[in-house]
Structure 1
Amino acid sequence: MLNGCYLTPPEPKVITITKPVPILPPLYLLNDIALSHPPINTNRELLKFAVKAHNQKVLCNLDKAALRAWRAKYE
C-alpha cells in the first residue's frame, strides 16, 4: 500500500580512470655506440670515413642522450 514511498536504490555507477603509462625503451638500446671501420687504403678514403663516422657517432649519441633523459623523467 505504500508503494509510492518506496525508493529504489540507484544502480551503482562504474567510474573508470585511465592513466597513461609510458613504455620505456630497454637500457641496452640506450648505450653509446662503438665505432668500427672498414679497411682504408688511401688518405681520401680515410678522410671520407673519418668525417662520416664522426657525424654518425655524434648524431647517434646525441639521440641516445636525449632518450636517456626522457627515460629518467619516468623512472
Structure 2
Amino acid sequence: DRIALIEESLLQLFSMRPIRAGGLLETSMQYIYECRGSMTVGSLAEKVNYSERNLRRIFQNELGVSPKELIRIIQFQ
C-alpha cells in the first residue's frame, strides 16, 4: 500500500510540471527496471553517457530522489 501511495504521488509530481530532462530520466529508469535495481549509479552513468554527479543532480532536481534511492526502491519492489 505504501509503495502504491509513493508511486501515485510521484506520478502526480510528473504531471504537475514539465520535465526538462525527460529523455534522460526515461532511459535511466528503463535501465534500472530492466536490471531490477541490480546496478550501481556508476554503471547507470556509463550507460546514459552522463557523469555520476550530473546524474545525481538531475534526478534530485526532477524526481526529488537520488538515482541510488530509486535503485533501492526498485530493488525493494
Identify whether the pair has TM-score above 0.5, normalized to the shorter chain.
no
- The structure number with the bigger radius of gyration is 1
For the aligned pair, the TM-score class normalised by the smaller chain equals: under 0.3
With a CA cutoff of 8 Å and minimum separation of 6, indicate the structure with the bigger relative contact order. 1
Question: Which structure has more helix as a fraction of its residues?
Answer: 2
